[in-house]
Amino acid sequence: MTSRPESPSCSPHHALLATVPALALFACGGDTTRTADAVVEDSAGVRIVQHTGPTDGEPHFAFAPEPIYRHGDGPGDYTFARIWRGTLLGDGSAAIFDAGSSEVVRLNPDGTFHSVLAPAGEGPGEVSQLVTSMFAFGRDSIVVLDRAQTRSTLFVNGALAHTASILDLRRATSLWPMGFDDAGRFLVATTSFLPGFEEEWLFGHMARYDPETGAVDTVASYKYVPGESNPAPGVGRVLVAGGQFVYVRTDIPEVVWHLADGTVRQISRWQLDPRYLTAEDLEAIEPILRDRLRFVNPGASDEEVASMTRQNMAQHEADLGNPIEHFKSPFADAEGRIWLPTSMPGIPGEGVPPYTVISPEGEWLGMVDAPPGLRILDVGRERVLGVMTDEMGVESVVVYELVDAN
């Protein structure tokens, strides 16, 4: 379907999104520019950045040795049960969704408790256990997406400002919001599928969605999931950065930027050898897998956890020597940089360090390591919001500063 023509001001989010910088477009032509270890070419209006040099150099930035603050295990701190989502606001504060309590909590810039922004419940300004995303805009505005209640809720300066149902999107499609364009419309992409298809690739879709009218405007398709006969080890992932779609295949060193109308704007490629499952990978998998099985089976004995670990490891051992993906689910920071977590075979979730980081201009910024045990929630304004878990299983919010690596 195609959305009707409208003024950007029709969107309740438009005023908040006016501060999101639009990335520059590149003129058509055939110009080629060589930079250090890279060739930049303009091909039919698409900017192509081909990195020709090694990708083992020092990164442009690094994590500071110690966090700016830690919240969750100190006297008077909010007690988190299961931290699921988080976002950094422009004023330096943070919003954290705790799935265990079904609350969105606001922390001050110094890490002290501010308030419960959204309590558990089904009423206006309340949330369920299935908050899938939180997007921050401006200094103090947050959009919260609740999958169970199929709605988008906008909070401004700590108060409920607007609620919109996205039930029609959920009922009619497998699409789900990934972010916004600069007109305030949701940029959505395929997030689910039915198995058993016979094609080599199941294609996903990028689209613009207006929750006020229910209109869905599909703008592009992409390789999403390989079929059973397809040996490709990776899948297609879509995220939003700077009001544009970004597409990554998790088994290919390439990032593709699409404008909100689906037009390909830029492609960045770099050198990376194919990756295969090794005995060293299996050694790294086993302790992580054991810990995760213990976490999701809290009543299991040590013998039962060990048995489940052996069964799971036997499946991975059968894949020894097979090709595997390079990355897990990518994410973008507030500066428009793309972060690609390293894939740990057999371990679901966000991936592990180091993180390959690509600039908005397609420049390879290096592989950035992270403090051991840190699970990243958001990156913005040279700060990293994440989660640390202690030996007792207590989760804490931490914020690190990104500093010059030189």
Whether 36 has a pLDDT exceeding 90, the answer reads: no
Find out whether the peptide bond into 354 is cis, omega within 30 degrees of 0: yes
pLDDT digits (tens, 9 = 90+) for 345-372: 766 667 788 999 999 999 999 999 999 9
Residues whose CB is less than 8 angstroms from the CB of residue 131 and which lie 6 or more positions away in sequence, other chains included: 84, 85, 97, 99, 104, 144, 145, 146, 147
Among the listed ranges 86-95, 191-200, 288-297, 342-351, which one has the minimum average pLDDT value?
342-351
> Would you state the pLDDT for residue 91?
93
296-304 contacts, C-beta under 8 A, 24 or more apart: none
User: What are the φ/ψ torsions at residue 248 (nearest 5 degrees)?
Assistant: -135, 130
| Whether the Cβ atoms of residue 101 and residue 116 lie closer than 8 Å to each other | no
> What span, in angstroms and rounded, lies between the C-alpha atoms of 389 and 397?
9
Average pLDDT over residues 261-281: 94
Instruction: Give 166-193 as a DSSP string.
Output: -HHHHHH-SEEEEEE-TTSPEEEEE---
Residues whose CB is less than 8 angstroms from the CB of residue 374 and which lie 6 or more positions away in sequence, other chains included: 353, 384, 386, 387, 388, 398, 400
The SS3 of residue 296 is: helix
Compute the radius of gyration of the chain from its Cα atoms: 22
**Mean model confidence pLDDT for the chain:** 88
190-195 contacts, C-beta under 8 A, 24 or more apart: 190/224, 190/238, 193/224, 193/225
- For residue 382, the one-letter residue type is E
Beta-carbon count within 10 A of 198 CB: 8
> What span, in angstroms and rounded, lies between the C-alpha atoms of 173 and 215?
12
If one compares 115 and 21, the residue with the highest pLDDT of the two is 115
The model's confidence at residue 392, banded by pLDDT at 50, 70 and 90, is confident
The model's confidence at residue 35, banded by pLDDT at 50, 70 and 90, is low
| Whether the Cβ atoms of residue 55 and residue 271 lie closer than 8 Å to each other | yes
- Give the pTM: 0.86
The model's confidence at residue 52, banded by pLDDT at 50, 70 and 90, is confident
The SS3 of residue 374 is: coil
Average pLDDT over residues 214-219: 93
Sole residue written with tokens 């049960």? 81
> Would you state the pLDDT for residue 4?
27
Any bridge partners for residue 342, and if so which? 327, 352
User: What are the φ/ψ torsions at residue 264 (nearest 5 degrees)?
Assistant: -70, 125
Nearest-CA neighbor of 209 among 167, 146, 265? 167
pLDDT digits (tens, 9 = 90+) for 279-317: 988 888 888 888 888 878 888 999 999 999 999 999 889
Whether 147 has a pLDDT exceeding 50, the answer reads: yes
Sole residue written with tokens 């058993």? 196
